[in-house]
Amino acid sequence: MGPHETVEVTGHLMDSGILSRVLDDIRDFGGDYVIEQLDVGHDAHDPSSARITVEAADDSSLQRLLMRLQTRGVNQVSDGDAVLATAELDGVLPEGFYATTNLETRVQLDGEWHDVENPEMDCGLVVDAPSGAARVRTVPLTDVRAGMRIVVGATGVRVSVPQQDSEAAPLAFGDGEVVRDRPQAVLVRQVADGMRQARTDGKRLLWVAGPGVVHAGSVPAMVALVRAGWVDVLFAGNALATYDIEAALYGRRRNPDESAEGLEHGHEHEVRAVNTIRRAGSIEAAVAQGVLTGGLMHALATCGRRFVLVGSVRDEGPLPDVHTDVVEGQRAMRAEIGDVGYCLMMATQLYSVATGNILPATVPVVCVDINPAVVTRLTYHGTNPGRGIVSDVGLFLEQLALELVADYRRT
């Protein structure tokens, strides 16, 4: 028998399908397994538990398989302290580093368990003071510094998977119960309720938006939501901000993606709008100077809301507020997610994936896009209690504003 380890898992193993995914993982890594023990609750409401010995070809594969299994809430039975290694180069993790999930994670050091402070997927785990008041936090590759103490292997790491309830299923796919009445209206109302709950809990509301929000004519709905306090921070790219500002300066233009003839040379307004803001120095300065007097970015600036704009290779300009370095941009985004309690992703795959990469699994996410492939991709990315809604972002935002803003469309 090759290198092996015994793991255990508890919960609604049968009806959640976790067990079959665990066995899939084992096969994916070329491993093998023996089910040592399986206690099945007798009726539908009893939890089950399993104890499984997994085996892999070599120790490195075994460690990586154990890390994968943790994403299912399957942890080692006999875990001692985490093993640490020292990063030898800036920006490089040690061989065999523990690759994080965005789930709640604990690390055992000197026999004590420590919560990971900021769960984020695909990072390393750095231990700041290996003895005494040790702190454990995630570190992305770019922020690794030589000398950091990094967790290697899966030993001494435990991950908690949130109880999957039926709510976690993407709404557009049905939710297993009979819904007779106006599901689309119900969907919008559920999103509004989620936002109200986050607000009640003292959490911030994060929006991620693509230029489609402008093309769909949703700027008035977004402005109303900003003014009514339903947007705390916006993540976007140069395109959304530029189209919004261009529309504020020159009037709304056609959506280049949908036009039969496409864009041809229609960028001219866009570049001129960017140049105008560059002359002012920043969006905030343009608002202060009276150059920019309307639109979403204006509303954010005048209401004191935060926004993080991160560049992309196709940007024209870009606007002076844009982080042209994407790693800096990621850092700026991370700085804003600390107390986020609800996240709405509107019509952008690029920025939504980027946000999903850094968001803890505990933040509810709703993703709206007219392209089913984007919704599927985003909904299953990570383990957030996410809901994907295949829908027109324009009608969705219209209904959401009607739901949340008392006097919307009545002024």
Nearer to a copy of itself, 203 or 315 (CB): 315
Nearest Cα neighbor of 403 from 204, 112, 153, 186 is: 186
* Torsional sign, CA 331, 333, 335, 341: negative
> Which range in 104-112, 175-183, 192-200, 283-291 contacts a copy of itself by CB under 8 A?
175-183
Q: How far apart are CA 225 and CA 228, in angstroms?
A: 5
Structure-token pair, residue 182: 């106006």
135 belongs to the binding site for a copy of itself (CB under 8 A): no
| CA geometry: angle 84, 88, 89, nearest 5 deg | 130
Of positions 77, 112, 117, 182, contacts a copy of itself by CB under 8 A? 182
Nearer to a copy of itself, 109 or 401 (CB): 401
Interstrand relation of 112-115 and 104-109 (parallel, antiparallel or unpaired)? antiparallel
Least distance between a copy of itself and beta carbon 380 (Å): 3
Of positions 16, 108, 164, 362, contacts a copy of itself by CB under 8 A? 16
Structure-token pair, residue 18: 């976790």
Nearer to a copy of itself, 129 or 146 (CB): 146
Distance of CA 169 to the CA centre of its chain: 16
CA distances from 179 to 37, 172, 188, 201, 365 (A): 39, 12, 14, 28, 22
Within 203-242, the residues that bind a copy of itself by CB under 8 A are 216-218, 220-221, 237
* Residue the block writes with tokens 């070809």: 57
- Residues 367-406, one symbol each (x = binds a copy of itself by CB under 8 A, - = not), give ---x-xx--xx-xxxxx------xxx-xxx-xx-------
146 belongs to the binding site for a copy of itself (CB under 8 A): no
Within 280-309, the residues that bind a copy of itself by CB under 8 A are none
Nearer to a copy of itself, 198 or 386 (CB): 386
**Contacting residues for 369 by C-beta, under 8 A, at least 6 apart:** 345, 346, 347, 349, 375, 378, 388, 390, 391, 393
Within 75-114, the residues that bind a copy of itself by CB under 8 A are 89, 91-93, 97, 99, 101
Nearer to a copy of itself, 3 or 183 (CB): 183
b/e burial code for range 177-204 (CB count within 10 A of at least 16 → b): eeeeeeeeeebbebbbebbeebbeeebb
CA distances from 374 to 202, 257, 337 (A): 30, 16, 22
59 belongs to the binding site for a copy of itself (CB under 8 A): no
Of positions 2, 174, 197, 201, contacts a copy of itself by CB under 8 A? 174
67 belongs to the binding site for a copy of itself (CB under 8 A): yes
Nearer to a copy of itself, 198 or 408 (CB): 408
Within 304-363, the residues that bind a copy of itself by CB under 8 A are 310-318, 320, 324-330, 333, 350-351, 353-354, 357
17 belongs to the binding site for a copy of itself (CB under 8 A): yes
Of positions 133, 180, 200, 410, contacts a copy of itself by CB under 8 A? 180
Nearer to a copy of itself, 300 or 358 (CB): 358
252 belongs to the binding site for a copy of itself (CB under 8 A): yes
Nearest Cα neighbor of 283 from 266, 308, 253 is: 308
Of positions 258, 338, 406, 407, contacts a copy of itself by CB under 8 A? 258
407 belongs to the binding site for a copy of itself (CB under 8 A): no
**Rg, C-alpha atoms of the chain:** 24
